[in-house]
Structure 1
Amino acid sequence: MDAQRETPKKNTTEHLLADRREGIGVCGWVLVSLSFCLVLITFPISIWACIKVIREYERAVVFLLGHILSKKAKGPGLILILPCTDKFIKVDLRTVTCKIPPQEILTKDAVTAQVGGVLYYRMYSAVSAVANIADVHSATFLWAQTTLRNVLSTQSLAQLLAAREEMAHSIQVILDSATEHWGIKVARVEIKDVRIPVAMQRAMAAKAEAAQRARAKVVAAEGEMSASKALKQASMVLTESPAGLHLHYLQMLTTLAAENNSTIVFPLPINMLEGLGRKNRGG
């Protein structure tokens, strides 16, 4: 039983030594061996300095004498760090929200505007984020600013106001392809606000008001035309049927009597008025 317990322990130690010995040369192997011996001699005090806890959303890139250990990140869980030979860098894999301040751009139709946005990205490769660039967050932020200006400056003001989603997707594709070797995945880009000069706002408001007035005039003209056609049709009907005019008088009288009026108008038949007029002329 003791032999079986010692064998896995021996194999594990040999695996760690082989893992750390890769690419570090003879001198590096000697230093790693001395570090192991130092840990064993000062055990269990040294164990608290050698064991590090990596959270679920973190990864640790461990450097052994300047070389990335196993060419991949460690974690989550417990990792072993040897004193004097190992150095580790923690990387947060959670999504980062980056606010892009308003950028002053000149649109395709020579209009000056200020456009801001929001960038969402995360690290998918901790080793690339640490080994390929010095400050991945600052580089991503500056590249997002530059791309935002370059893409929006090729659009007109009307496109800038109407096609935000399409332009945001184009910016996302450009950023994602550029930051791929940094271990960055761009999840989403949003164009937050578009600010134009006050004079341009007034001009656009005046243009919109003039267009609204023109539409109102067209609607009024169409309404008057419809009313004229209805009156013409009604007059033609009354001309063909004189009794309809008397019925219309009676209906108006009924409507006036239903209200609280002190005066009631009694319409006289037109024929009676015509007869009175003839008698006056004859007299």
Structure 2
Amino acid sequence: MSVVLSILIVIVIAALVLTSSSLRLVQQYQRGVVLRFGKLLPETREPGLRAIVPFADRMTKVSLQTVVLDIPAQSAITRDNVSIGVDAVVYFRVEDPVKAIINVENYLQATSQVARTSLRSVIGRAELDTLLSDREQINGELKAVLDAPTEDWGISIDRVEVKDISLPDGMRRSMSRQAEAERERRARIIVADAELQASTKLSQAAGAMAATPGALQLRLLQTVVDVAAEKNSTLVMPFPVELLRFFERATGARTETPPAAERPPVTGAALNGQPLVTRDSPADPG
């Protein structure tokens, strides 16, 4: 009786071991790829508790989540012969679990290596200005380069982004001087344009004031009001130019030309273009 009981216990334990070894739990974000005696089964195992044939089937779970792969800084030379260091990040996910297991040994390592080589290749074809100013173009080229080899591995590249670009110290100083010179050039152009517009407006204002004599007087009074509003102890009064011209005309009208009889006689030739003027003098007694 004891022998039969022992045999039953052994059978139960063996059944439990076989049952436990034949059951596999597949998570919602996973898919199971099963190989039976080394041959691929056509269907993948969906999420849930799945049974396999013990000692005959071998199931590999593949995650379908998006993987964030960090590419360490890569030293590269741009098209215009500038040595820089560039690091990036790749977002990808497994689209076909069968290809990811069958076509490549380790899809994570393979994707990492091809991302590094592709990054150096793209940087070598681009110029420094393009890398600094047009990141979207570089990211698009990197994604296109990575899509070609990873498509056969059942991997879909969602996006590639360049994180940082390390420049040499000498190049940074040169770019700083270039940016400063560019800002100085823009500032001078803006000042010159402002002076041109101001001179045009002043010319138009001067023409309007010349056409209306009273406008100049009103402008003079407005200037006096503006100066007086500053609470200055000294008041500067502009003197109208028209008043000076009035005085000049009045003075010229009072000045009379002497008659010809009173003019001194002119004798002799001109000396150096100037006439020689002599006055009548008494005769020499000698």
Instruction: With the length of structure 2 as denominator, give the TM-score of the two structures.
Output: 0.73
Matching residue's letter, 1:110? N
Change in 2 beyond 3 A, CA 1:43/1:249: same
Change in 2 beyond 3 A, CA 1:251/1:96: same
Change in 2 beyond 3 A, CA 1:134/1:266: closer
Asked if 1:77 corresponds to 2:48, the answer is yes
Per-residue displacement from partner, 1:224-246 (whole Å, max 9, x unpaired)? 23333333333444444443322
The equivalent residue for 1:54 is 26
Per-residue displacement from partner, 1:14-69 (whole Å, max 9, x unpaired)? xxxxxxxxxxxxxxxxxxxxxxxx9999334532332111111112222222222x
Please state whether the residue corresponding to 1:204 is helix, strand or coil.
helix
Q: How does 1:149-160 map to 2 (within 5 A)?
A: 149-160=120-131
- Give the CA deviation at 1:155: 1.3
Larger mean Cα displacement after TM superposition, 154-163 or 50-59: 154-163
The equivalent residue for 1:100 is 71
Per-residue displacement from partner, 1:136-191 (whole Å, max 9, x unpaired)? 10011000111111122111112222332222222212222211221211111112
The equivalent residue for 2:98 is 127
Please state whether the residue corresponding to 1:46 is helix, strand or coil.
helix
Find the aligned partners of 1:54 and 1:210 in 2 and give their Cα distance. Answer: 63
Change in 2 beyond 3 A, CA 1:267/1:176: closer
Of 188, 211, 229 in structure 1, the residue corresponding to residue 159 of structure 2 is: 188
Matching residue's letter, 1:67? K
**Unaligned runs of at least 5 residues, structure 1:** 1-37
Of 213, 220, 224 in structure 2, the residue corresponding to residue 249 of structure 1 is: 220
Asked if 1:42 corresponds to 2:14, the answer is yes
Of 198, 208, 220 in structure 2, the residue corresponding to residue 227 of structure 1 is: 198
- Give the CA deviation at 1:75: 2.4
Change in 2 beyond 3 A, CA 1:122/1:270: closer
Find the aligned partners of 1:252 and 1:57 in 2 and give their Cα distance. Answer: 81
The structure carrying a bigger helix percent of its residues is 1
The equivalent residue for 1:19 is none
- Give the CA deviation at 1:269: 5.7
Q: What is the percent sequence identity of the aligned residues?
A: 35
Asked if 1:175 corresponds to 2:137, the answer is no
The equivalent residue for 2:38 is 66
Per-residue displacement from partner, 1:101-142 (whole Å, max 9, x unpaired)? 121111111111211111011112222222222211001100
Matching residue's letter, 2:84? A
Q: Kindly report structure 1 stretches of 4+ aligned residues shifted beyond 4 Å.
A: 38-41, 261-274, 276-279
Change in 2 beyond 3 A, CA 1:106/1:268: closer
Find the aligned partners of 1:211 and 1:268 in 2 and give their Cα distance. Answer: 45
Matching residue's letter, 1:58? Q
Per-residue displacement from partner, 1:74-109 (whole Å, max 9, x unpaired)? 121122233333322221111100011121111111
Change in 2 beyond 3 A, CA 1:163/1:40: farther
The equivalent residue for 2:182 is 211
**Unaligned runs of at least 5 residues, structure 2:** 1-9, 256-286
Larger mean Cα displacement after TM superposition, 108-117 or 234-243: 234-243
